Amino acid sequence: MNRRRYLTLAGTGVVGALAGCGGGSGGESGQSVDDHPATAGLEGLPRRGELGGHVVLTFEDPSCSRCAAFHENTVPKIRSNIVDPGDGAYVVRTYPVVYDWGKPATQALESTYARSGDAFWSLLDHYFTQQSQFDADNVLDRTETFLAGLPDIDAGAVVADARNEAHDDAVQANITAAEDAGLGETTPVVLLFRDGEFATKANGSVSYDLIAETLGVN
Amino acid sequence: MMGAVGRSLRGVRLPTRGRDWRLMGRTARLVLGLPTYAAVAAVASVLSLTGFVVSLNVSLVLAVVVGGSLPLGSRLTILAELYPFVGTSFSPAQGLLLVAVAGLTGVDVAMATYHFREHGLNVQQGGAGAAGVVLGTLGAGCAACGSAVLVGLLSLLGVTGGLLFLPLEGLEFALGAVVVLTLSIYWLADGMRGGEINGCPVDI
């Protein structure tokens, strides 16, 4: 009886944790990138590289520490080994699910992207590299200061839009896409499409080697 | 009087003295000195670490490691990349803690197996070991997701958002697993007091 109880406890706990942490499968293997629920509105999303080959689609929260690690360790290799040779695209969906300051930061990112793709990438990098400096009270002020140093973007207008949630439809579209695809909230969520077909979903700051092996690239 | 209170909390014995820790170390060393139980500990450690890391990416493992059409080398690489210090899913501190939890799980399982086979096992000892494994798995989840998963789980208990104030972003659960597993090992060692392991007395 004791042994049975021991095994039951262990089994229940581990299975429960698996169910909680693993999230859904993220879609059916082989599903076209055009039909996958996570890719709704794909053409209009922030993107490095061209569509038509492999696609690395990520759901990232600017306040998530493992998203920052993913950007530091993995994204540069995605760009140099997949995007730059023309083998595929890296696409980002902002996904505010971790800390409170991620929500206004995401509004600012979408308000920035509506004006300038380059400024969007700069701001995203800034959030990840300076992550410890932000909180819900200062994020928009610091965002305005940073954007003011970039060319060809009206920092005041971006932050005003962010405060008014003028581009909330883009944020909500990302959240809806994640929900429709059953992705859960273990960020970053990385969806891998091999030659336009869904291969799998990965949670966490997975390595470039994992992505390369899954997509069959160097 | 105070010592007795310190050593037991409502009847639960705690390792508060140096000799308690020496007892744990000696008992673990004697059990792991038996090749069979060393192997049990090694297998349990690897399995628990695998459980921790795979729990974060069940769909990935099923789709491209177990299923799919990738060559064997690619499957093994993908699986290996999920582990701390091989891939990039965990920071060094997170990885170290997870490996420690897995190692303690192995020691705990080996001692529990020995104790069960030799003397039987009581509910407190078995329950503590299982709790350690569960906490370790939750710790792995938190380490990678920045606590969002645990917020979802804990919201069922009415503590939504509380986890966001944890300074280690949820890795506290892995630390909790270390504590629970250590207690379990102590209780197992305490339960073997007075006996012999491979001809050597457990008591020191």
pLDDT in tens, B83-122: 999 999 888 888 888 888 889 888 988 888 887 787 665 6
Cis peptide before A188 (omega within 30 of 0): yes
Substitution target in A210, A215, A217 with the highest count of B β-carbons within 10 Å is A210
Residue of B nearest to A8 (CA): B130
* A210, closest residue in chain B (CA to CA): B78
pLDDT, averaged across chain B: 75
Contacts of A204 (CB under 8 A, 6+ apart): A66, A70, A186, A188, B56, B57, B89, B144, B145
DSSP A163: H
Q: How far is B193 from chain A (nearest CA, A)?
A: 20
- B 17-46 residues inside an 8 A Cβ radius of A: none
Chain B environment of A201 (Cβ under 8 Å): 59-60, 63
pLDDT by 10s per residue, chain A, length 218: 344 444 444 443 443 343 334 446 677 777 899 999 999 999 999 999 999 999 999 999 999 888 999 999 999 999 999 999 999 999 999 999 888 999 999 999 999 999 999 999 999 999 999 999 999 999 999 999 999 999 989 999 999 999 999 999 999 999 999 999 998 877 899 999 999 999 999 988 999 999 999 999 97
- Report the gap between the CA of B130 and the closest CA in chain A (Å): 5
3-state class of B85 per DSSP? coil
How many residue pairs from chains A and B have C-beta atoms closer than 8 A?
Answer: 169
Q: Measuring CA to CA, which residue among A50, A38, A135 is closest to residue A93?
A: A38
Q: State the pLDDT confidence band at B178, using cuts at 50, 70 and 90.
A: confident
Angle formed by the axes of helices A208-215 and B72-80, nearest 10°: 160
* Closest CA of chain A from B145, distance in Å: 5
pLDDT-wise least confident of A57-71, B71-85, B120-134, B155-169:
B155-169
Reading across the β-sheet that carries A47-48, which strands appear in turn?
A: A47-48, A88-94, A54-60, A189-194, A197-203
To the nearest whole Å, the CA of A144 is away from the closest chain B CA by 26
B138 has a chain A CB within 8 A of its CB: yes
Question: What is the structure's pLDDT at A28?
Answer: 73
Considering only alpha carbons, which residue of chain A is nearest residue B89? A205
Q: Is A59 helix (H, G, I), strand (E, B) or coil?
A: strand
CB atoms within 10 A of CB B152: 19
Residue A77: per-residue pLDDT: 98
**Residue B4: pLDDT band with limits 50, 70, 90:** very low
Q: Which residue has the tokens 């792995």?
A: B140
Residues of chain A found within 8 Å of residue B59, distances taken between Cβ atoms = 22-26, 200-201
pTM for this prediction: 0.80
User: Which residues does A36 contact at the CB level (< 8 Å), separation at least 6?
Assistant: A27, A181, A191, A193, A198
Which pLDDT does position B159 carry in this prediction? 42
* Residue B64 CB partners (closer than 8 Å, separation 6+): A199, A200, A214, B70, B74, B75, B78
Q: How far is B3 from chain A (nearest CA, A)?
A: 31
Instruction: Indicate yes or no: CB of A16 within 8 angstroms of CB of B134.
Output: yes
Read off φ and ψ for residue A189, nearest 5 degrees.
Answer: -105, 125
Please indicate whether, in this complex, the C-beta atoms of B77 and A61 are within 8 angstroms of each other: no
